[in-house]
Amino acid sequence: MTQKRIRVRFAPSPTGPLHMGGVRTALYNYLFAKKHGGDFILRIEDTDQGRFVPGAEDYIIEALKWCGIEPNEGLGFGDGPYAPYRQSERKPMFRQYAEQLVSSGHAYYAFDTPEEMDALRKQAESNKQTFSYDARTRMQLQNSLALSEAEVKQRMDNGMAYVIRLKVPQGESIIINDLIRGEVVFQSDIVDDKVLLKSDGMPTYHLAHIVDDYLMKITHAVRGEEWLPSAPAHVLIYRYLGWESDMPQLAHLPLLLKPDGNGKLSKRDGDRLGFPVFPLDWNDPFTGEKSSGYRERGYYPEAFVNMLAFLGWNPGTEQEIFSLEELCAHFSFEHIHKAGAKFDPEKAKWFNEHYLRTTESSELGAHIKSDVQQTFNIAEDNRRLSADYLTKAAELLKPRVQFEHEMKTTGAYLFQAPDTYDETVVAKKWKPELRPFFEGLQAALAALPAFETAHIDETIKSTAASFNLKPGEIMQLLRVIVSGQGGGVDLLGMIELLGQTEISERMTRALSRIGQ
């Protein structure tokens, strides 16, 4: 017997931007598929016409691409043999399965209107109870089980709206074998008669995902924990459709929780706590509200993915830095933690910092070029935009930033002469007697035949010695004179990088302003 080819899917509904929790679900699906040489499919579950949000679908596709977790089949990634991958386009097909369940006595037509259902729920609520459409109540309601055949026919003939509901049996134990949680047992009595086909002819998630998973030969359904309570209904549907032996293995992932307090991570938390909850920026087409994404905040996709992978999973070793390929190789459901994970923005930054440090300075230099050019309005042929200059600047700045875009602010003085000089340092260290020294140093530096750190260092020391000054008295001032700031990148490296001419100009300018 040959093993079935592993096929998994990520099946979001296009009701808004993809949340980082959703990206993690996609990631785990992807990792599992790749690990076993299987397929990863993107299917859009747009069965709720009322919640459709323009742009959400493109957002999902773009987000997966940015993360590098590309489906090898599905919407936006090339059709496989099971197209279409948008459920609304598969609409006509679902009805037959719902009807099949009616014929076999496992589902029925129900004519109760949404308003009537609402009223029943409210009424139950006022009695501190919960209304449930199930074996205990269905015979008192308006459906093909309670009504006579003639009544049902008449209503159908009159074009009365109806839904198809699953007829859930009483007194059965339904066992879920979850890959992460093990065996979970539910009593069928607490499962309600879920709507399978809505009055607009669209299937609900419950029917649609099962039919599609079956037709698309999905072997594992990896999804959020919020689906665990409806899993018994899903098992019943598979059983009644005669597909139980082909039912995908279930794996319910733990949820992502708010960094502070309680509850699951939501869109609001990002705004409130100042970190993104979305992979990419998103502008809500209805409210105009903007939400920021990891990409635009300057995160590397590799860092984002690495961080996400560790929110609920671990390799069982102490290694924390994993490329996507390594994650694929090491991933397994056994190492998925069962409890929800509070998201820690600090750790996310740490991952990014790590990836930045391991990126070649030449690459970093190339990355920041246009940003630097625009920020400081530098002419294209200026040496500060040369690969060599940018590489050295990145090298100096690398250990002091977490994001590439911070380089232009943290190291602004490498690209632009200062306008102001740190007053605290000047007040503390400057003495009029130092002026001749700095003028002497300026001349000595200008006269250096080779402007390199070793010579610069030597020149500073010897000039200081000749003025009877100790390094502690002049070094920080020199830094302020050159960069305007009391702290920053390696002083000698900075001086060498800025170059002989620039240094001389900056010293002239600073000495004309300081201590006047």
Partner RNA sequence: GGCCCGUUCGUCUAGGGGUUAGGACAGCAGAUUUUCAUUCUGUAAACAGGGGUUCGAUUCCCCUACGGGCUACCA
Q: Is residue 227 a contact point for RNA (CB under 7 A)?
A: yes
Q: Is residue 470 a contact point for RNA (CB under 7 A)?
A: no
With respect to RNA, which residue has the nearer C-beta, 382 or 490? 490
The binder of RNA chosen from 145, 195, 303, 414 (CB under 7 A): 195
With respect to RNA, which residue has the nearer C-beta, 423 or 490? 490
The binder of RNA chosen from 95, 217, 239, 264 (CB under 7 A): 264
Looking at residues 354 to 373 of the shown chain, list those that interact with RNA (rule: CB under 7 A): 357
Q: Is residue 140 a contact point for RNA (CB under 7 A)?
A: no
91, 267, 342, 369: which is the annotated catalytic residue? 267
Tell me how far, at minimum, the Cβ of 76 lies from RNA, in Å.
17
Tell me how far, at minimum, the Cβ of 381 lies from RNA, in Å.
30
Collapsing DSSP states into helix, strand and coil, what is residue 111? coil
How many residues bind RNA (CB under 7 A)? The answer is 85
Calculated CA dihedral for residues 253, 258, 263, 265, nearest 10 degrees: -60
With respect to RNA, which residue has the nearer C-beta, 51 or 272? 51
Q: Is residue 274 a contact point for RNA (CB under 7 A)?
A: no
Q: Is residue 136 a contact point for RNA (CB under 7 A)?
A: no
The binder of RNA chosen from 316, 371, 383, 452 (CB under 7 A): 316
Q: What are phi and psi of 191, to 5 degrees?
A: -90, 130
CA distance linking residue 318 with residue 472, whole number of Å = 43
Q: Is residue 290 a contact point for RNA (CB under 7 A)?
A: no
With respect to RNA, which residue has the nearer C-beta, 5 or 461? 461
Joined tokens for residue 259: 């960094």
Tell me how far, at minimum, the Cβ of 205 lies from RNA, in Å.
4
| Amino acid identity at 291 | S
Stretch that binds RNA, among 111-119, 238-246, 286-294, 433-441 (CB under 7 A): 111-119
Q: Is residue 453 a contact point for RNA (CB under 7 A)?
A: no
Collapsing DSSP states into helix, strand and coil, what is residue 184? strand
Tell me how far, at minimum, the Cβ of 382 lies from RNA, in Å.
25
Collapsing DSSP states into helix, strand and coil, what is residue 284? coil
Q: Is residue 504 a contact point for RNA (CB under 7 A)?
A: no
DSSP code of 143? B
Reply yes or no on whether 267 is catalytic.
yes
Sign of the torsion formed by the C-alpha atoms of 159, 163, 166 and 169: negative
Close Cβ partners of 106 (under 8 Å, ≥ 6 residues apart): 166, 167, 236, 240
8 Å CB contact between 311 and 256: yes
The binder of RNA chosen from 103, 128, 379, 419 (CB under 7 A): 128
Q: Is residue 199 a contact point for RNA (CB under 7 A)?
A: yes
Q: Is residue 481 a contact point for RNA (CB under 7 A)?
A: no
Give the 3-state DSSP-derived string for 425-487, with helices as H, strands as E and coil as C.
HHHHHCCCCHHHHHHHHHHHHHCCCCCCHHHHHHHHHHHHHHCCCCHHHHHHHHHHHHHCCCC
CA separation, residue 287 to residues 15, 74, 290 (Å): 14, 30, 9
Joined tokens for residue 329: 């190789």
Q: Is residue 272 a contact point for RNA (CB under 7 A)?
A: no
The binder of RNA chosen from 5, 51, 428, 435 (CB under 7 A): 51
CA distance linking residue 328 with residue 36, whole number of Å = 9
Q: Is residue 202 a contact point for RNA (CB under 7 A)?
A: yes
Give the angle subtended at the CA of 162 by the CAs of 161 and 164, to the nearest 5°.
160
Residues 150-169 as x/- pattern, contact with RNA by CB under 7 A: -----------x-x------
- Residues annotated catalytic, as ranges: 267
